[in-house]
Structure 1
Amino acid sequence: MADMRFLVFWLLLRFSVATTDVASCSCGFLDPRTGAIWTDAIVTYGNETEKLPVDSLVAEEYQHPYEKNWNARYRSGALPTNIGHNDSTAPGWNGSAWTLSLERPTKNHFVVGASIRSLRRDIRYGTFESALGPPKPGVGGSVLAMRLDYNESQTLSVNVMNADDPKDAWTSFMIYGDWRGARDKGVNFTDFGNSTYNYPNSPWGIVPYRFEWTDKNANFFIGDALARSIRSRDTPKGWPTTASTLYIRHSSIGDQYTSEGPPPNGSYTHVGLLRAFFNSSLMSEIDHASFDARCDTKQQCLVTDTSLLMFKERPIDYKKRWPAIFVASICIAISTVLLLHALIKRAPWKTKLPASANGSSNKDVTLCSAQSSWQDLSATPSVFYSEGYGLTDAAQTPGFWTPGVVTPGTMTPGRTGTPRTSIHPLVSSNITPAWSEADTLMGGGGYFTGPVSSSTSLTVTPGQTRPGSDSLKVPPPVGISIHCRNRNDQHDAITPINESKQAGRSVQSVDEKKLPMVATAEIDEDKQLPDVTILEISVSTPTGTAAKSPISAPKQRVDYLAGLVALASIFVTLIHFCLTFLPATEIPYTHTHYKSELWALKIVTPYLLTFSWIGPFFTSSTRFLVMTYLKSGNLKGVAEKTVGRTPRLIIPCAAIAALEYFCMQVGAISWLEYLPSVTWSTWPYTSNYVTFGHFISEIIELMYIIPNAVPQITFNYCIGVLWTIPVQLQNSWTSLLAVIIIREIKTPWKRMCYYAFCIGMHWYAMSWGSFFWVGLLIADLDISYKWKTWLYARPWVYYPLLAFVAILALGSPSIDLVGQWTTMNFNTLEYGVHPHQRTGHLIRDSVDYGYPPYYIPRLSALTFSIGFHLLVELSPVVQKFFSNRLLMWLFPHILTLYLIHGLIFWSLGAVICVKLAAHGVPYWANMLVVAVCTYTVIFGCLPFLTPVIETLGKSITMNIWRDASERPAPRRKTLYPFDPDMFKDGTKNDTEVVPKSDDVEKNEIKVASKAL
């Protein structure tokens, strides 16, 4: 019965259109299903005419230089000659129909099809029907679409897709903003005949489709069955309201999530009819009023509906945007003024130090420099700390300053009073800030990079006081001079300062334990240059006596490890560049622009563009995490890393992620969606967060999610990049706990067996912890056992070991090289021997057996990291290479490089690549220009962005550690130093000052002593 009603309605509709001239329907058309009246129409049937009606439809001719689709690997085109007409034997249709043919793809990834476009571009709301027949099954995937489109920013479409596999064929009903591959927004061909749609014929025949578009909703139908309904208030990207153009197209762009394809030998589709009833956006309110007045009592074509509402134009209220523009302008102006004020006040282009407490200006000095010296170090600690100078670990000396505990600005030049905390002033003006940006990938510890030479005399102005029970007070006549000498000098003993008296004051006896030892975090004493220097502190009394104590100078960082990490960071950016613009160099079986890409994949990629370069980040990170505790056994260093590690990494990541989301919203990354059709790479894509709560959730995932689950932000912010952050964080806790256990295992062979057991178990469990355990082992061998000294003294052991680690470093990538030339893949075989988490069997016996995902650790990457790290540790030649100036300059910026390179590639790089391709520039020249421009911008913005990221990461982390480790200052009443009673009684004029406290009295004594 249902089939009979459908057939009768279809014949009635056919008869009405065939016998009624559309031009005679001056009062419009009444939709019998909704009661809506439409003023204009386009009606044509393929079994009544062989040619398209020239007064309403036109055959298009075009060739797109790019496509707007995240997964488009081909570009579409159209020719009028691909539109034909023949008899159709497809079920669901009688007689002839139009055919839209699709040619076979070209080597340049062009697929030429057919397109029919309406001459009317003023279509605004209406009901649109068409009888569409998909391509034959098994010929390759393509799309036959009926769509309304305005500038690709407002679309409604019905897409009939046969797919490469016939069982995957489906029809989608989409609106702008929907992901084209969402199967829940369509119907599979196998479901057409179920009770929901009850379509009587084969979906492979010619099927009637319809969609209705109003200002409130859009409904999509298969025959008369509702397939999808969308309300305007439920669309996050805005409801289509702009006048559009109607298209019917047969195309294929190789989207693996929709139609797949393209057909290797071409294909064709059928279009039986096209009926569109719509309103025109060209009609004004006066025209609509005239239409309603003229047609109030007249019949519309087909059916009548007296309840038609007056057409009312929906005005676009731009006034609502002015408050937001006003607020944004004010915020931008205030931010600009504040930034300029801070820049002018800071004056980074000036090299002079701030004025000292006594009004003199400190000259530029280099610690232990032969050309200059400090004659006056009376500047308060805040002078140095406020400019970012400071050490990161507290010496194990009682009363010495603590890292991160100093409150910036607690003392300023010329200000009296007891500060909460103090730092030692013996800090060079050109020493880098403590918490280096490289903490992200190298463990979170700070260290100095200032040059150290061998002859400087520094005199400390009398009156310096370090707070604490063991503070050293030097009376005004006493001078402290610091000299540099080589460690090889003979006089290394510490001579205690004897008590002396002058002016009725005594100089307290100072022993070795109470002398300030300048110790820095994360610095291995054995990683010095051959000419290591020692600082001597000489406390001279008026009688000429002096006591000398060697103080270790701020150590130079482990330059060759810093260079290793810097080089690895460059290679990682090159990997992401290739995945974005040259996918054939990274992904096998991908279409290539040139054959040279295949040679690069087989020869260059296994060594220079392999993901094994991630390994040195992890192994080096552990060394700098555990070094302090391995040396001293003081849990304070572990506590500092535990407290500061997470905010040190997450805060900069959240800030840069927010910046990229902002760039998405303002359209700076809009050209990335066009990029895949030019580069043939579907790897990069972005997706904005739905709500701010989703953004917060993604940031929390970075801190706590299991690494193998991959945080969701990697699919929005920067695919393939930020997933290493939770790996770093979670294995940081593993490393910090492991070093505590390791230090308690005193027997060497038991210690090594424990290392072997843990590394093996982590590898078998496919955990990145194996890399961190390796880093801990190398650090332990160096710090606890001094193994390099032992090896250097035994060449017969040293050179074979060096050769072995060199073979390990070069041989591990060579295993991947073999996989590029043969059918055997070692990574796949190794992945198969691990346990399958869902079944407990081996992975090779499960359905998940195959090449491992990128976030799964591989044995070849582990052995590469071991070999390369050991080669750098043991070979002086390799160490010299990695200590070059270029890598040393880059090292402090690796966190910035890590966070922003994807943003530059996907914004500026995408625009340049797409625009050059549209102008027909050869792809090799295109890539050369893109690489030069993007890397110039990346390296050029590092000096500007690094201080911002340092402030977000280092400064906030130091404040967190200060609050977690320092006892807060005692609270003082608001009226201090006045007595609250003087304000309680208005008639009493009592101005008696509160008695001086001990700290105020000490401050006055100190000021008086300085005046003397």
Structure 2
Amino acid sequence: MRYYSLYFIIFALSLLRNAGADSTSNCSCGYYDPTTENLFTDFLIVYFNETTTFPSEVFQNQEYENKYEKSWNARYRQGADPSNVKITNSTAEGLGNSSSLELTINPSTSHHVVKGGAIRTQRSDIQYGSFRSTIRPAQAWTGGTGMSMLLKYNETQNIHINSLNQQKPIDAWINTLLGDEFPDRVHGLNFSTLANNASYSPEINPWDLTEIRVDWTQDSVKFYIGNVLARSVFKRNSSSKTFPVTPSPLLFKLWSNGDSYFTAGPPTKTTTANLGWTRSFFNSSIMTKEQHKEFDTRCAVTDACLMDDISLRGYTEFGVDSIAKWKAIHHESGVRIFAYICLSCSVALTVLLLCNVTFQRWPTKDSKAPKEPKVHTCYRLPPQISDPKLDMSPGMSKTASTRTTSMDFKTSKNDLEITQIGFTPGSSSLTLNDMVNQESKHISFAASRQLSPSNMSEFTLNNPMTPSASTNRFHSYNDSPTDSEPVSPKNSIYLGIEGHSALDGMTPKKSFIYRNPDESSEKKGWEMPRTTEIKETEISRPSPPYHAVSEVPAPIAFPAAPINARPAPTKRIEYLAGLISIATLLVTFIHFIFTFSPAMGMVGALEHYSFEVTFRKTAGSYLLNQILLGLFFITSTRFLISRYLRTGDLESIAEKTTGRTFRVMIPIAACAMLEYFLMDVGALKWLEYLPSISWTTWPYAVEYSDFSHYISEVLELVYLLPNAAPQITYNYCTGVLWTIPVQIEGSWITLLGCIVVRQIKTPWKRMCYYAFCILNHWYAQSWGTFFWFGVLYTDLDVTFKYKKWLKDHAFVLWTTITLGFLLGIVGLSNDLITAWTGFSLPIVERGIHPDLETGIPIAQTANAGYPDYFNPRFNGILFAVGIQYVVENCYFVQYFLSMKLWLILFPHIFTIYLIHGLIWWSLGSLVCVNLAANTSLPYWSVALITAVICYSTLFASLPILTPVVETLGKNVTGNIWRMAHLKPAPRRKTLFPFPDRLFLEYEEKGKGEVIDHEKDVENKAGVNFHQQEI
């Protein structure tokens, strides 16, 4: 009986073994989930508590060390060590049996590398499937780490589900991410939420082995935690670039990169996480269309094995093709080739035009030589066909009526009408004969000959009402510019219907024509005019009407008097220009340090070398201080109001009010659009990798979600009320544009305030008004404090001439200079005092001000603390006021600030302000990341090389970009102001100043007979259109 029982047990075991074998071999029709109705062809199942060896036939134990990390906040780099992966059967206290695959992670090295454990499938052809595993995160209070299951092809094609223990257990959570999504809390669940959720049956403990699952299909990705759906992402609602479609391997890893929004950490000590089992059902990307067709023909859903069958073990056999990484096949379209051609042509044309402009403006010996005064050449046209019956106009002088030729000409009325002109301020009208009489005043006329049709193209008379005529008007021959006055429209010479009535029916005997003196071969001479003899044969045949009849005469030359001579521009205050140039360079240096060596300028930043902290606690407090911005605000007021305080002319206020916003915003909008384009094409690609190299989280800039956001954020700069950070801060490199609302609001404060101040005539009342405004702006935490101090300094200089008084009182002068210098040092020393003592004046001073929400002092609210970067600071006021006084009154400081180097940079400061961040964060990040990752250079040399390249590129781009910025800003603003307050020129006909009939066709019939088609039409119609036009 005992033997029968033994035979029965052996038979039963054999049946079970065959059943297990059949479960694998007979699932050739795939694996089906009736709940989701998903069917997949291949599978991979491993229970790590059923094996004592690592399953190397299906998994690969990884070893790597990332050169950099893609994350805005990752200051550490990931790594993996095969020794950190092992099968364990240990028992953890309170967690029961922990037989599983154990992954270990170590604390960070001195080079910020955190090595953990990682495994991945041998197969890389996994495309769509259902992936299920049980994972246990690292223990609490061991530093932030992540135990993850992911399918990853690259940085945008991946699927994550991560169990994160965080720095504090209360923050631990499981998140679900797709592509390059930001690890926002909305994409996950907190451990406490999971533990207290009644939807889970049985209840789960996220700190122990917890089942996670990802169902990936062509249409959606669904994440499950404990068999409960946690998140769904559908392809129709996602970007085509981020929704995963590429074949990928399956990975499990324990890792940390120090990202405070993701894994946090790094771990403070060696810690472990566990993988209990994994069950994966998926399709293979190497399966051909024929194989798919054969599978569909051969199999039905009812023939497939169930995914929930817990007896399944093993994996689907695979070949070498399944191991190789999938590569996409790119097909170049004709549209893209056409785009390449257009781009190449555009770039070539741009380079050609830039080279042309550069060569034209390149300094030569001739350009450096002093230029001679510009000389105009005036020609006299010979006597032309005259009207024997000359009708004198009332405006003509008697001389004009008597100077007639004795020759008998047969001609019709001349075609060109000439109005009255004025040569001197005292002459209200000048007739044709008066023009001729000018020949006695340093003018030489030569013999004349007939003018060919080609010469007529040189006869140009401009409308004096238009700007283009300003350089071609007639002037008196006085050499002194002060003796020449612009010719008014009433006293100008021009041709047209307005002037016809004055000289109607008159044929000019003498005429002038301008020509470039370089085209003349005759030397300057002052000969008396000679009579021109004309033979009868030369005039026997009448010339065609409407054409000039004269030859090119010899030239006469006289120095050109300036037209509309503008007053000399106000001399630039050179030391203020130098001050702004130095402050601009220091701002760029601060941004460079914050980007590439943050420990030198930021408290709490991670340092590469110990000297960085030493520098921050010494010289860095003075060189890398953001309170330098106050100098910009104080100095800018002088350029806005000094003219008004000096003259009281409200036109200067109107001009600044009209153009100030345009002057600032037009270049900014253009540069913001340029950065928008460059970000969109990937110019800031390497910036996201920089934190893992430079160990800073300060750089951050992303592209706009769409063009409407760009428009909204640019307009926001005009209307945003400081103190606030504009949204464009996160879409513009280095975020410098937060100062623009401050500048614009400060402009209104300055322009309106100076009008009020100038009306307060009593000095002590005026000073009380200044004190009232400054105190109120300080208490309200407004940047207006700086602008009011700027108005005060300008008023003291322009109105009260305090500098002159101080020069006569040397003791007071040097005492106040010393006091101002001490105020500046105290203001800059705040960070130094904080670094050594912990006391912070800005925190204490900010606590005095009222809270905007409650009205009570900020020190008594939850908002107490160090002020934001866009809030004014008291030490900044002390520094700006003190240093500005020193600059205004100390000769030695002014001499230093007036050096040529600073003055050369001054025209480019706005360009530097706008584009330095783009160069730092695009080219700089590219150079820094690649040098640090691909060379063995120490980081200090990497930062130094990056600085040289960045600053060289910045200065090299200024000659190209500054003209564009100035054109968009200064020149366009000037045009806006001119259009706003100048009366536009009168509208003229297309042929002005020539009459319409000048270019009509003519036809000769017989000797001396000319038929004018226009007159024929007029005669037939009985209307004289020409007379009506006059």
Q: What band does the TM-score fall into relative to the shorter chain?
A: 0.7 to 0.9
Secondary structure of 2:733 counterpart:
coil
Pick the aligned partner of 2:349 from 333, 337, 342.
337
Deviation of 1:911 (Å): 1.5
Aligned to 2:945: 929
Aligned to 2:180: 177
1:127 correspondence with 2:130: yes
Deviation of 1:188 (Å): 1.2
Aligned to 1:273: 277
Any conservation in 2 of the 1:762–1:770 contact (CA below 8 Å)? yes
Any conservation in 2 of the 1:607–1:814 contact (CA below 8 Å)? yes
Inter-CA distance 198–765: structure 2 relative to 1 (3 Å threshold) = farther
1:849 correspondence with 2:864: yes
Deviation of 1:337 (Å): 3.2
Inter-CA distance 321–819: structure 2 relative to 1 (3 Å threshold) = farther
Pick the aligned partner of 1:56 from 42, 55, 58.
58
Aligned to 1:76: 78
1:252 correspondence with 2:256: yes
Secondary structure of 2:46 counterpart:
strand
Deviation of 1:413 (Å): 9.9
Q: Counterparts of 1:986 and 1:58 in 2: how far apart (Å)? A: 102
Pick the aligned partner of 1:140 from 131, 139, 143.
143
Greater shift, 725-734 or 651-660, is seen at 651-660
- Aligned partner letter, 1:191: T
Deviation of 1:415 (Å): 4.3
Deviation of 1:844 (Å): 1.0
Secondary structure of 2:144 counterpart:
coil
Secondary structure of 1:289 counterpart:
helix
Q: Counterparts of 1:578 and 1:829 in 2: how far apart (Å)? A: 27
1:718 correspondence with 2:733: yes
Aligned to 2:486: 465
Inter-CA distance 802–423: structure 2 relative to 1 (3 Å threshold) = farther
Q: Counterparts of 1:702 and 1:718 in 2: how far apart (Å)? A: 15
Aligned to 2:533: none
Superposed CA offset, 1:279-338 (max 9, x none): 111122122222223334872222699xxxxxxxx9999789643663574366357537
Aligned to 1:763: 778
Pick the aligned partner of 1:418 from 431, 439, 463.
463
Inter-CA distance 24–565: structure 2 relative to 1 (3 Å threshold) = farther
Q: Counterparts of 2:141 and 2:575 in 1: how far apart (Å)? A: 58
Say which one has the larger Rg. Answer: 2
Q: Counterparts of 1:842 and 1:660 in 2: how far apart (Å)? A: 41
Pick the aligned partner of 2:661 from 646, 669, 672.
646
- Aligned partner letter, 1:69: S
Gaps of 5+ in 1: 1-13, 306-313, 354-362, 380-411, 427-456, 478-545, 999-1012
1:679 correspondence with 2:694: yes
Superposed CA offset, 1:624-670 (max 9, x none): 11112112222221121122111221222222222222222222211
Deviation of 1:603 (Å): 0.7
Deviation of 1:926 (Å): 1.0
Deviation of 1:95 (Å): 5.4
Q: Counterparts of 1:131 and 1:991 in 2: how far apart (Å)? A: 104
Any conservation in 1 of the 2:667–2:965 contact (CA below 8 Å)? yes
5 Å-filtered alignment, 1:274-289, equals: 274-289=278-293
Aligned to 1:359: none
Q: Counterparts of 2:831 and 2:972 in 1: how far apart (Å)? A: 43
Q: Counterparts of 1:774 and 1:593 in 2: how far apart (Å)? A: 41
Aligned to 1:102: 105
Deviation of 1:107 (Å): 2.0
Secondary structure of 1:915 counterpart:
helix
Superposed CA offset, 1:689-731 (max 9, x none): 1111011111111111123221111112124411111111111
Inter-CA distance 551–134: structure 2 relative to 1 (3 Å threshold) = closer
Any conservation in 1 of the 2:155–2:180 contact (CA below 8 Å)? no
Q: Counterparts of 2:340 and 2:1029 in 1: how far apart (Å)? A: 50
Any conservation in 1 of the 2:465–2:986 contact (CA below 8 Å)? no
Any conservation in 1 of the 2:75–2:112 contact (CA below 8 Å)? yes
Secondary structure of 2:683 counterpart:
coil
Q: Counterparts of 2:1020 and 2:185 in 1: how far apart (Å)? A: 83
Q: Counterparts of 2:766 and 2:1029 in 1: how far apart (Å)? A: 56
Any conservation in 1 of the 2:143–2:167 contact (CA below 8 Å)? yes
Aligned to 1:661: 676
1:111 correspondence with 2:110: no
Aligned to 1:1010: none
- TM-score by length of structure 1 reads 0.76
Superposed CA offset, 1:548-594 (max 9, x none): x9996433311110110000011001110111011111211222111
Inter-CA distance 320–965: structure 2 relative to 1 (3 Å threshold) = farther
- Aligned partner letter, 1:938: L
Q: Counterparts of 1:351 and 1:992 in 2: how far apart (Å)? A: 59
- Aligned partner letter, 1:921: L
- Aligned partner letter, 1:785: F
- Aligned partner letter, 1:417: N
Aligned to 2:32: 30
Q: Counterparts of 2:591 and 2:25 in 1: how far apart (Å)? A: 59
- Aligned partner letter, 2:970: K
- TM-score by length of structure 2 reads 0.75
Any conservation in 2 of the 1:832–1:844 contact (CA below 8 Å)? yes
Pick the aligned partner of 1:203 from 192, 202, 206.
206
Aligned to 1:938: 954
Deviation of 1:894 (Å): 0.9
Any conservation in 2 of the 1:173–1:186 contact (CA below 8 Å)? yes
Deviation of 1:343 (Å): 6.1
Any conservation in 2 of the 1:197–1:222 contact (CA below 8 Å)? no
Deviation of 1:263 (Å): 1.7
Superposed CA offset, 1:334-368 (max 9, x none): 57537745863796425699xxxxxxxxx8689xx
Any conservation in 1 of the 2:733–2:921 contact (CA below 8 Å)? no
Any conservation in 2 of the 1:91–1:205 contact (CA below 8 Å)? no
- Aligned partner letter, 1:913: C
Deviation of 1:988 (Å): 8.1
Q: Counterparts of 1:703 and 1:551 in 2: how far apart (Å)? A: 33
Q: Counterparts of 1:210 and 1:349 in 2: how far apart (Å)? A: 68
Q: Counterparts of 1:276 and 1:38 in 2: how far apart (Å)? A: 10
Q: Counterparts of 1:15 and 1:566 in 2: how far apart (Å)? A: 85
Q: Counterparts of 1:952 and 1:28 in 2: how far apart (Å)? A: 66
Aligned to 1:594: 609
Greater shift, 676-685 or 194-203, is seen at 194-203
Gaps of 5+ in 2: 1-15, 310-325, 379-456, 472-477, 495-510, 513-560, 998-1013
Aligned to 2:410: none
1:189 correspondence with 2:191: yes
Deviation of 1:974 (Å): 7.8
Any conservation in 2 of the 1:168–1:188 contact (CA below 8 Å)? yes
Inter-CA distance 680–335: structure 2 relative to 1 (3 Å threshold) = closer
- Aligned partner letter, 2:801: K
Inter-CA distance 263–95: structure 2 relative to 1 (3 Å threshold) = closer
- Aligned partner letter, 2:157: Q
Any conservation in 1 of the 2:32–2:301 contact (CA below 8 Å)? no
Q: Counterparts of 1:890 and 1:884 in 2: how far apart (Å)? A: 11
Aligned to 1:159: 162
Aligned to 2:391: none
Secondary structure of 2:919 counterpart:
helix
- Aligned partner letter, 2:463: T
Q: Counterparts of 2:710 and 2:203 in 1: how far apart (Å)? A: 47
Pick the aligned partner of 2:597 from 561, 582, 585.
582
Any conservation in 1 of the 2:676–2:703 contact (CA below 8 Å)? yes
Any conservation in 2 of the 1:216–1:232 contact (CA below 8 Å)? yes
- Aligned partner letter, 1:934: C
Superposed CA offset, 1:523-546 (max 9, x none): xxxxxxxxxxxxxxxxxxxxxxx9
Inter-CA distance 682–991: structure 2 relative to 1 (3 Å threshold) = farther
Secondary structure of 1:603 counterpart:
coil
Any conservation in 2 of the 1:22–1:41 contact (CA below 8 Å)? no
- Aligned partner letter, 1:294: R
5 Å-filtered alignment, 1:318-337, equals: 322-323=334-335, 326=338, 329-330=341-342, 333-334=345-346, 336-337=348-349
Any conservation in 1 of the 2:786–2:877 contact (CA below 8 Å)? yes
Inter-CA distance 870–89: structure 2 relative to 1 (3 Å threshold) = same
5 Å-filtered alignment, 1:289-688, equals: 289-296=293-300, 299-302=303-306, 322-323=334-335, 326=338, 329-330=341-342, 333-334=345-346, 336-337=348-349, 340-341=352-353, 344=356, 348-349=360-361, 373-376=372-375, 415-422=460-467, 465-467=486-488, 553-688=568-703
